[in-house]
């Protein structure tokens, strides 16, 4: 695992993009973050939270299939930027299928047929940049070597694509934070696999095998962080474009959790990664090498090696880099931070 000090300067990327909103002045200490995403109701919450956080400078969105097909998640990415008044932020379109298989398909029972809880938003007018997501990821980190955090909220296909086509991306990135996986707890897409990793296990095994500073924010922590029904009501009632959008997007997602988990609230999967960037002290991590199962009924399972990491390590884990695996979280603190940022 590569650990380096974190310089928080603004990343510079100059894509060809139609811009309707001027970029707001960015704090010189804001951390540049590129978000790869499949919006997605909880992706929407995470992105709006990031855009409301002066500590972060969102330098681009790249889109991927997962909660919905890539054309749908791309449209949603633009809707979120419009909502936040940040259409100056470039969007690059990602892959439509996993690197080795076909897309498993959308999950309308969780995120709606439109990926945003059937919010019925108007069609955004903005256009993506010409570069595809893998190229955009590479070019963005290459423009500011060692400065940009790449945060993934969906299947990690675009990042795997970038590693394969532009191997120097591994040295150019500052750090990678992945929402996905399950180290010590069951899956949510299958009994053994978490949804993002299950959507492209081959890509995930590549990404967790690259020698960069990488953190896994998986179900071990995100299923501990519940946003209560009362907090949801406060966010949806907030008199802002964010409150208005989430009031349309959250109800279907909320009823899914009520029906399947029996809770009055929602798990904060993707927003927990933003909380990790803002307040890492709220999380406990373990440095473990990880493999991702690509065969059989546990396909998509993230397997840490909890034992020897030297030459006594089983061959499958030998010479694998360490991954910061989140296993503990101050759930009250994180849920409070999410609510605070979404009601600013």
Any idea what the Cα angle at residue 68 is, between residues 162 and 302, rounded to 5°?
Answer: 55
Q: Return the one option of Ca ion, ligand BDR, none that residue 188 interacts with (CB less than 5 to 8 A, by type).
A: ligand BDR
Cα–Cα distance, 273 to 21 (Å, whole number): 26
Q: Which of 50, 51, 116, 195 binds ligand BDR (CB under 6 A)?
A: 195
Q: Which of 82, 114, 139, 194 binds ligand BDR (CB under 6 A)?
A: 194
Q: Is 38 tagged catalytic?
A: yes
Smaller CB separation from ligand BDR, 236 or 249: 249
- Cβ of residue 93: shortest distance to ligand BDR, in angstroms? 18
**How many positions of this chain bind ligand BDR (CB under 6 A)?**
13
Q: Which of 132, 270, 293, 339 binds ligand BDR (CB under 6 A)?
A: 270
Smaller CB separation from ligand BDR, 10 or 95: 95
Q: Should residue 224 be labelled a site residue for ligand BDR when binding is judged by CB under 6 A?
A: no
- Cβ of residue 335: shortest distance to Ca ion, in angstroms? 18
Helix or strand or coil: residue 6?
coil
In angstroms and rounded to an integer, the radius of gyration of the C-alpha atoms of the chain is 18
Which distant-in-sequence residues (6+ apart) come within 8 Å of 252 by Cβ?
41, 111, 112, 117, 118
Q: Give Cα 217 to chain centroid, integer Å.
A: 9
DSSP 157-169: HHHHHHHHH-TTH
Structure tokens at 296: 């059989």
Among the listed residues 38, 114, 205, 330, the single catalytic one is 38
How close are the terminal C-alpha atoms of the chain, in Å? 36
Q: In the complex, which residue's CB is closest to ligand BDR?
A: 195
- Cβ of residue 232: shortest distance to ligand BDR, in angstroms? 16
Beta bridge partner(s), residue 314: none
Q: Should residue 269 be labelled a site residue for ligand BDR when binding is judged by CB under 6 A?
A: yes
Among the listed residues 132, 161, 269, 330, the single catalytic one is 269
Helix or strand or coil: residue 273?
helix
Q: Which of 179, 214, 278, 325 binds ligand BDR (CB under 6 A)?
A: 179
Smaller CB separation from ligand BDR, 160 or 179: 179
Enumerate residues 114-153 that contact ligand BDR by CB under 6 A.
153
Q: Give Cα 337 to chain centroid, integer Å.
A: 17
Sheet containing 322-329: which strands, arranged edge to edge?
91-92, 56-63, 31-37, 149-152, 175-179, 214-217, 322-329, 283-292, 302-304
Q: Return the one option of Ca ion, ligand BDR, none that residue 138 interacts with (CB less than 5 to 8 A, by type).
A: none
Per the listing, tokens 């956080």 go with 53
Q: Should residue 43 be labelled a site residue for ligand BDR when binding is judged by CB under 6 A?
A: yes
- Cβ of residue 186: shortest distance to ligand BDR, in angstroms? 12
Question: What is the number of H-type helices and E-type strands within the chain?
Answer: 13, 11
For residue 65, CA distances in Å to 40, 73, 94, 95, 285 come to 10, 7, 8, 7, 28
Q: Return the one option of ligand BDR, Ca ion, none that residue 293 interacts with (CB less than 5 to 8 A, by type).
A: none
| Binding residues vs Ca ion (CB under 5 A) | 38, 40, 43, 153-154, 270
Q: Is 132 tagged catalytic?
A: no
What is the set of active-site residues? 38, 269
Binding residues vs ligand BDR (CB under 6 A): 40, 42-43, 67, 153-154, 179, 188, 194-196, 269-270
């Amino acid at each position: 695992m590569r650990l380096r000090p974190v310089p928080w300067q603004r990343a510079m990327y100059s894509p060809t993009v139609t811009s309707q909103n001027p970029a707001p002045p960015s704090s010189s200490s804001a951390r540049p973050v590129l978000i790869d995403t499949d919006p997605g109701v909880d992706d929407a919450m995470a992105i709006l939270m990031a855009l409301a956080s002066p500590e972060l400078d969102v330098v681009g969105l790249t889109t991927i299939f997962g909660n919905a097909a890539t054309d749908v998640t791309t449209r949603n990415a633009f809707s979120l930027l419009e909502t936040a008044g940040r259409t100056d932020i470039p969007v690059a379109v990602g892959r439509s299928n996993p690197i080795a298989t076909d897309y498993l398909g959308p999950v309308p029972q969780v995120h709606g047929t439109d990926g945003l809880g059937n919010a019925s938003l108007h069609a955004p007018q903005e256009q993506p940049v010409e570069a595809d997501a893998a190229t955009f990821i590479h070019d963005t980190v290459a423009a500011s070597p060692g400065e940009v955090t790449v945060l993934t909220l969906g299947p990690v296909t675009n990042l795997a694509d970038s590693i394969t086509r532009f191997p120097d991306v591994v040295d150019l990135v500052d750090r990678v934070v992945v929402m996905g996986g399950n180290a010590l707890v069951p899956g949510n897409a299958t009994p053994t696999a978490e949804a993002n990793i299950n959507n492209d296990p081959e890509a995930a095994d590549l990404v967790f095998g690259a020698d960069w500073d990488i953190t896994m924010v998986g179900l071990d922590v995100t299923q501990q962080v519940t946003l209560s029904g009362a907090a949801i009501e406060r966010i949806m009632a907030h008199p802002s474009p964010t409150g208005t959008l989430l009031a349309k997007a959250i109800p279907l997602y909320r009823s899914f959790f009520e029906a399947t988990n029996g809770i009055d609230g929602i798990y904060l999967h993707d927003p927990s990664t933003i909380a990790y960037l803002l307040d890492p002290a709220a999380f406990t991590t373990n440095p473990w090498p990880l493999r991702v199962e690509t065969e059989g009924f546990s396909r998509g399972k993230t397997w840490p090696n909890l034992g020897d990491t030297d030459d006594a390590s089983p061959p499958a884990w030998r010479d694998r880099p360490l991954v910061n695996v989140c296993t503990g979280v101050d759930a009250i603190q994180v849920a409070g931070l999410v609510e605070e940022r979404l009601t600013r």
